[in-house]
Amino acid sequence: MPDSLPTASVLAPLKEKGLVLGLIGAGIQASRTPALHMAEAAAQGFPCVYRIIDLDRIPGGAATLPELLVAAERMGFAGLNITFPCKQQVIPLLDELSPEAAALGAVNTVVLRDGRRIGHNTDCSGFGESFRRGLPGVARGRVVQLGAGGAGSAVAQALLDAGVQRLAVHDVDAGRAGELAASLAARFGDGRAVPVADLAEEVAQADGLVNCTPVGMAKLPGMALPPAMLHGGLWVAEIVYFPLETALLAAARALGCRTLDGGGMAVFQAAHAFTHFSGLVPDAERMLAGFRAALRGG
């Protein structure tokens, strides 16, 4: 929406018709994203229905993604959030990509408008805002990132945008880590991103560690690296937010590390997606407060 468009002219049709949105991903029953969008829509004065489309509960799983997009369009959805494992798989099914989504090669937000599918990425800006607020002043010389998938691509860009000088990328698929590092180096300069050769050595020399894998989620407990590799000189960040206190963060805190949970990224990526879907600017502080209250059960 153009910045000059009056809020009232955007809000009027929303009050009349509301928004229908959805989240496509695997194992997402515990996602807080629907509640974030519906609560903010209610606070702004219009109805929003947000459906969870869990691939683990659909015969055919991720292979049904093309059909799910068609179904969403036919049912009048205004947009979809996309999560693991479809952030890259969805790209060939779209009509247009935002510049950031194209650069990252990953999409987490699809706007369905006028018969077109437009892909955006709000993971990058969401993590960047959370990192800026949650870990101010941390050393940014050498950082290790675990995970080179769709979310990892976005977080890596956010870290380099935030001034990290050398990002070492590790993934269980070494080829994928190499591809991400090469893509980042092409955009940010030689040496700014490298694939990990020896994880223990990289972590030992690092200022920070970021987990961009699903390991640590309630459905996939544990840590994406051996606990013995952690040391007190690290700051440690997560993108997992359910649970908010992962095994990695607990181990890091026990060593005295500064830590950042995945809640901030979850809220800020949702806030930025809300604008794409509705054309309105959300109250991110209100969304953050609601998110924290829901996790506390309040």
Helix (H, G, I), strand (E, B) or coil at 296: helix
30-65 burial, b for 16+ CB within 10 Å, e for fewer? ebbbbebbbbbbeebebebebeebbbeebeeebeeb
Q: How would DSSP label each residue in 107-173?
A: -SEEEEETTEEEEE--HHHHHHHHHHHHSTT---SEEEEE--SHHHHHHHHHHHHTT-SEEEEE-SS
Angle at 195 between CA 190 and CA 198, to 5 degrees: 125
Active site residues: 87
- Note whether 209 and 143 are within 8 A (CB): yes
